[in-house]
């Protein structure tokens, strides 16, 4: 099992940060170029809600279906991949108020690459690029939330 954790702070109240992450548009805003995301079916955030989307790595489509759990409007949520390139993937999003205008965002991921030769290569590539992805996500979250 592999573990990854990333933390950053946003100059905004926890309510604003949590609202942004619950938005169905957040995933699109948090996906760095040159990746594109197309939504197949996204349900409003709630216990057991599903997000079905495709991430395009150039011409390569990677379908991903996640189920949300442990949904707390101000504290965060967990998404678990039920279909996708990983054998196992659980991503916990946590929002912690530092003070009334500063929020810490913590992303913790447990994952295991696929054993399939092709999808194993894809999932390993995705795992090793997580620092780039989460640096971009921190920047985009600040940009979207702090300007409000």
Q: What is the DSSP string of 25-68?
A: THHHHTSPTT-EEEEEEEPPSSTT-EEEEEEEETTEEEEEEEEE
Write down the residue that tokens 């079916």 correspond to. Answer: 41
Can you give the pTM of this predicted structure? 0.94
Domain of 93: which CATH number?
A: 3.30.530.20
Domain of residue 12, residue span:
2-146
Q: Show pLDDT as tens, one digit a residue, over the chain (148 residues).
A: 999 999 999 999 999 999 999 887 888 889 898 888 999 999 999 999 999 999 998 899 999 999 999 999 999 999 999 999 999 999 999 999 999 999 999 999 999 999 999 999 999 999 999 999 999 999 999 999 997 6
* Total domains present in the chain: 1
């Amino acid at each position: 099992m592999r573990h990854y954790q990333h933390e950053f702070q946003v100059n905004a109240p926890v309510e604003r940060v949590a609202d942004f992450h619950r938005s169905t548009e957040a995933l699109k805003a948090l996906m760095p170029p040159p990746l594109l995301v197309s939504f197949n079916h996204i349900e409003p955030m709630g216990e057991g809600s599903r997000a079905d989307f495709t991430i395009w790595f150039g011409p390569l489509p990677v379908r991903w279906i996640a189920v949300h759990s442990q949904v707390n409007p101000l504290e965060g949520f967990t998404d678990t991949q039920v279909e996708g390139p990983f054998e196992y993937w659980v991503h916990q999003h946590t929002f912690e108020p530092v003070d009334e205008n500063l929020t810490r965002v913590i992303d913790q991921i447990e994952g295991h690459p696929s054993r399939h030769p092709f999808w194993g290569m894809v999932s390993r590539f995705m795992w090793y690029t997580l620092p780039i992805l989460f640096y971009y996500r921190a920047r985009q979250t600040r940009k979207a939330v702090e300007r409000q």
